[in-house]
């Protein structure tokens, strides 16, 4: 069996009792970055073999993992933070398991975009998760299409590209479109900045931006 286990997006206490139980029971833990995951596992005194599984090696090792699962091994997949498969590797392995009739179980748990959406003050009844916008090819096309989107939109972004992306959104969505930017969710310096795209852009343009970013943008009226 393959089990997808969400891990805290910041505060190490944001992990379920069931997740800890599963991580104690499995034969091996697949981790996006074994160094990052070791911090969490050591904190909870979980001593299991760690194996790297990330976007640079997933194509190469997926068959090897399927072979291990067919032999009866119980494998957990975690990422650096949040739920595997949400802007993190997981799809290829899950698809291969489904094709080979290997059971897959996904535990509920931490995902950055949910708290960012809920505390944004923007409509939550209908929304679309876009993950990271294309950096180059396809970026303009994506922005033109999303400018007409009527549902609330959720994006992930690097702190190094936040100001540029807000400027791009202003260009295609208009300066007065409402948005919310959440930074360092669940951590000591958590920050949620709400306002128009221009107000939020100018705020972050005047400071050094750090931490993981979630942007929530109102849909077109």
Q: Are residues 90 and 117 in the same domain?
A: no
**CATH code, domain with 23:** 3.40.1010.10
Could you report the per-residue pLDDT of 20-50, keeping only the tens digit for each? 999 999 999 999 999 999 999 999 999 999 9
Residue 47's pLDDT is what?
Answer: 95
Residues 27 and 55 in one domain: yes
Task: Report the pLDDT averaged over residues 52-58.
Answer: 91
| Cβ pair 95, 195 in contact under 8 A | no
Q: So what's the pLDDT on residue 100?
A: 97
Containing structural domain, residue 135: 113-217
Q: Where does residue 207 rank: exposed (0-12), middle (13-18), buried (19+ CB within 10 A)?
A: exposed
What pLDDT does 149 receive? 98
Q: How far apart are CA 71 and CA 58, in angstroms?
A: 19
Instruction: Give the Cα separation of 176 and 197 in Å (integer).
Output: 6
pLDDT at position 75 over 90: yes
Q: What is the pLDDT of residue 55?
A: 87
0.85 exceeded by pTM: yes
Number of domains in the chain: 2
Residue 156 backbone dihedrals phi, psi, to 5 degrees? -100, 150
* Angle between helix 162-173 and helix 139-146 axes, rounded to 10 deg: 50
Segment (H or E) for 139: helix 139-146
The tens digit of pLDDT for each residue in 121-149 reads: 999 999 999 999 999 899 999 999 999 99
Counting residues of the chain whose pLDDT is more than 90, the rounded percentage is: 97
Q: What angle do CA 100, 27, 88 make, to 5 degrees?
A: 65
Mind listing the pLDDT tens digit for each residue in 180-221? 999 999 999 999 999 999 999 999 999 999 999 999 999 999
């Amino acid at each position: 069996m393959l089990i997808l286990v969400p891990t805290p997006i910041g505060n190490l206490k944001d992990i379920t009792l069931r997740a800890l139980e599963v991580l104690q029971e499995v034969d091996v833990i697949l981790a996006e970055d074994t160094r990052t995951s070791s911090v969490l596992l050591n904190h909870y005194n979980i001593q299991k073999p760690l194996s790297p599984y990330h976007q640079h090696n997933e194509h190469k090792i997926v068959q090897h993992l399927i072979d291990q699962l067919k032999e009866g091994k119980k494998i957990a997949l975690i990422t650096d933070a949040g739920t595997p498969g949400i802007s993190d590797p997981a799809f290829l392995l899950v698809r291969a398991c489904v094709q080979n009739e290997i059971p897959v179980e996904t535990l509920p748990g931490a995902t950055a975009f949910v708290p960012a959406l809920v505390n944004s003050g923007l409509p939550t009844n209908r929304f679309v998760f876009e993950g990271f916008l294309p950096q180059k090819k396809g970026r303009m096309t994506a922005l033109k299409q999303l400018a007409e989107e009527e549902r609330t939109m959720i994006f992930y972004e690097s702190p190094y590209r936040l100001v540029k992306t807000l400027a791009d959104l202003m260009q295609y969505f208009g300066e007065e479109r409402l948005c919310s930017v959440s930074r360092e969710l669940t951590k000591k310096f958590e920050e949620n900045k709400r306002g128009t795209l221009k107000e939020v852009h100018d705020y972050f343009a005047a400071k050094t931006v750090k931490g993981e970013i979630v942007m929530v943008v109102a849909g077109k009226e």
